Amino acid sequence: MSAFDELDAPTRQELEAAAFRRLVRHLRDKPEVQNIDLMNVAGFCRNCLSNWLKDAADERGLELSKDASREAVYGMPYDEWKARHQREANPEQAAAFAEGTSGSHA
């Protein structure tokens, strides 16, 4: 068992929440990193993270729309982020995505 696992649940949750906030801040500061690049390298993207946030809210019976969870991750409405930062995937990115996900990412 690691030292992290031995922490009391509230402390562990505080640390995990701080790490989540830092990850979101990091992704907001790096809009040039495209979601498809994140998917191809790490197997998740900003949309995945926003979906996980919504799933956590749903599991607790809390109302959080898909748009609200995306705005929490992107720092702005998703359509605005796409218009400002999203580029069309090049053929290599698209091929790597299709190969790595078997087309399962939504």
Residue 83 pLDDT grade (very low, low, confident, very high; cuts 50, 70, 90): very high
Q: Judge whether residue 45 has pLDDT over 80.
A: yes
Average pLDDT over residues 62-76: 98
* CB 89 within 8 Å of CB 34: yes
**Looking at residue 105, what is its pLDDT?**
55
Contacts of 96 (CB under 8 A, 6+ apart): 40
d(CA 72, CA 68): 6
d(CA 78, CA 71): 6
- Per-residue pLDDT of 10-33, as tens digits, reads 999 999 999 999 999 999 999 999
Determine if residue 63 is left, alpha or beta; phi over 0 gives left, psi from -120 to 50 gives alpha, anything else beta. Answer: beta
Q: Judge whether residue 103 has pLDDT over 50.
A: no
Domains, the chain, in order of start with CATH, read 9-101 (1.10.3340.10)
pTM for the full model?
Answer: 0.86
